[in-house]
Amino acid sequence: MKVLLTRTDRLGDLVVSLPAAIHLKRAQPDWEVHFMVAPAALPLVENEPALDGLWTWSDDDSCDEAALAAALGRERFDAAVVLQYRRELALLLRRAGIRRRYGPWSRFSSWFLLNRGVRQARSRRDRHESRYSLDLVRGLAPAVPPDPEPARLRLSGEQQAAAAAFRAGPAAGADVVAFVHPGSGGSALDWAPENFVQVANGLARRPGWRVFLTGSGADVDRLAPVRDRLAPEVGNLQDSCELREFMSVLAAGDLFVGPSTGPLHMAAALDLAVVGLYPPVPTMAPVRWGPRGPWCETLVPDVTCPDRRTCRMTRCSLHNCLERITCENVIETAVAVAQRRRQGPPPPAATEEKT
């Protein structure tokens, strides 16, 4: 049996969906499992031993869909599982001759393009995204367990060496290496940049702690007005490296503090302690998108969200509810979770997903 899984959107979405592929391979070790991702996300999966093949696809002009469809057709896949529905991608899979196409019936066109669809109502149910992905895979292979393990990212030998070099170089002598990531890349409600500066400065004042600021793109611009308030002890890594190198840098650390964003899920999957700041609206809340791992904590403002699906942002009477999370609370939580990580692995019950 040869199966193609696809997850071609954001980095964090791919990370939380990766356990579906790993559980499938574990349940069916004689199957050939391939994964299709966005081109920019390839470093996240290129060292995963459970995957027998990797493909990339994007909906822009950089993708030669005719050539890709022909290449997929030559592979003679028995089935494809679309973990996040994209109409153009589903059309490509049908064009490639993959007859069994699994995925969520989430759009009108999905009822016609996915012949093994499942109704999940993701925006109206309180389940983690990793479980939704696993449910789709279980439709193909019932032997897959119902509950996914936390995601784990694998590094190449070169990346592991780069992580050791970072720990011995820029982070030399530190007992705790912490990363503070101020932006979500537009995927969630954002905490004010000045709050992240206060957290970075507060953590950097702790004996034995070395703190680095991370981010890229629009996140860098958000911090520009308050960057001069950073303590000189805080290192600035914003826009300083591409994804493969960034994974090495993260792997050298102990703690990550940030909003719901791809790097947060990457940090959790690289076994760091994580503190995530989340809005209470169901489609952005930690029940759906929280980091998963033994040392992950999430902070959510203590308010009753007036919306049941999407955040109203500036149109909401409680905007910006994230400001109810104090810098002192974030620092206190970060220190506590970093200390738990240093004490060693928790008992098995502590690794279960919080719901």
| DSSP class per residue in 238-281 | TT-S-HHHHHHHHHT-SEEEEESSHHHHHHHHTT-EEEEE--SS
Same domain, 246 and 316: yes
pLDDT tens figures, 1-52: 999 999 999 999 999 999 999 999 999 999 999 999 999 999 999 999 999 9
Same domain, 180 and 270: yes
Task: State the pLDDT confidence band at 61, using cuts at 50, 70 and 90.
Answer: confident
Same domain, 325 and 243: yes
Last residue of a domain, one of 93, 109, 140: 140
CA distance 257 to 196: 9
Q: Residue 349: is its pLDDT beyond 50?
A: no
Output the pLDDT for position 317: 80
Same domain, 190 and 218: yes
Task: State the pLDDT confidence band at 352, using cuts at 50, 70 and 90.
Answer: very low
Same domain, 291 and 321: yes
Q: Residue 355: is its pLDDT beyond 70?
A: no
* Nearest C-alpha neighbor of 177 from the set 218, 206, 152: 206
Exposed, middle or buried by CB within 10 Å (0-12, 13-18, 19+), for 317? exposed
Output the pLDDT for position 224: 85
Is the Cβ–Cβ distance between 134 and 23 less than 8 Å?
A: yes
Residue 148 in domain? no
Residue 136 in domain? yes
CA distance 342 to 273: 9
Last residue of a domain, one of 92, 113, 140: 140
Residue range 195-203: mean pLDDT, rounded: 97
Output the pLDDT for position 189: 78
Amino acid at 5: L
Residue 147 in domain? no
Name all contacts of 82-85 with Cβ < 8 Å and 24+ positions apart.
82/6, 82/114, 82/136, 83/5, 83/6, 83/7, 83/17, 83/20, 83/133, 83/136, 84/6, 84/7, 84/8, 84/9, 84/13, 84/17, 85/110, 85/114
Output the pLDDT for position 125: 65
Residue 146 in domain? no
Residue range 55-70: mean pLDDT, rounded: 91
pLDDT tens figures, 298-314: 999 998 888 767 777 77
Residue 145 in domain? no
Cα three-residue angle 181-174-224, rounded to 5 degrees: 30
Same domain, 120 and 173: no
Last residue of a domain, one of 85, 110, 140: 140
Q: Residue 222: is its pLDDT beyond 90?
A: no
**Token pair belonging to 11:** 């980095």
Output the pLDDT for position 312: 75
Residue 151 in domain? no
**Token pair belonging to 243:** 């994804």
Q: Residue 122: is its pLDDT beyond 80?
A: no
Residue 248 in domain? yes
Output the pLDDT for position 216: 87
- Beta bridge pairs of residue 235: 212
Same domain, 7 and 111: yes
Residue range 183-187: mean pLDDT, rounded: 75
Q: Could you give the strand order of the β-sheet that contains 32-37, starting from the edge strand earlier in sequence?
A: 53-56, 32-37, 2-7, 79-82, 100-104, 116-118
Output the pLDDT for position 187: 67
Same domain, 117 and 30: yes
Q: What percent of the chain has pLDDT over 70?
A: 95
CA distance 10 to 222: 20
Output the pLDDT for position 346: 60
**Token pair belonging to 290:** 């929280």
Q: What is the mean pLDDT of the chain?
A: 91
Q: What percent of the chain has pLDDT over 90?
A: 76
Domain holding 102, by residue range, is 2-140
Cα end-to-end span (Å), the chain? 35
Same domain, 131 and 271: no
Residue 150 in domain? no
Same domain, 91 and 50: yes
Strand 235-236 with 116-118, pairing: unpaired
φ, ψ for residue 296, nearest 5 deg:
-115, 130
CATH number where 77 lies: 3.40.50.2000
**Looking at the 3D structure of the chain, how many domains does it have?**
2
Output the pLDDT for position 354: 35
Cα three-residue angle 32-38-42, rounded to 5 degrees: 65
Name all contacts of 98-101 with Cβ < 8 Å and 24+ positions apart.
98/4, 98/72, 100/140
Output the pLDDT for position 124: 66
Same domain, 135 and 41: yes
Q: Residue 82: is its pLDDT beyond 90?
A: yes
Same domain, 164 and 288: yes
Task: State the pLDDT confidence band at 59, using cuts at 50, 70 and 90.
Answer: confident
CA distance 144 to 26: 8
Q: Residue 350: is its pLDDT beyond 60?
A: no
pLDDT tens figures, 289-301: 999 999 999 999 9
Of 315 and 104, the structure prediction assigns the larger pLDDT to: 104
Is the Cβ–Cβ distance between 105 and 111 less than 8 Å?
A: yes
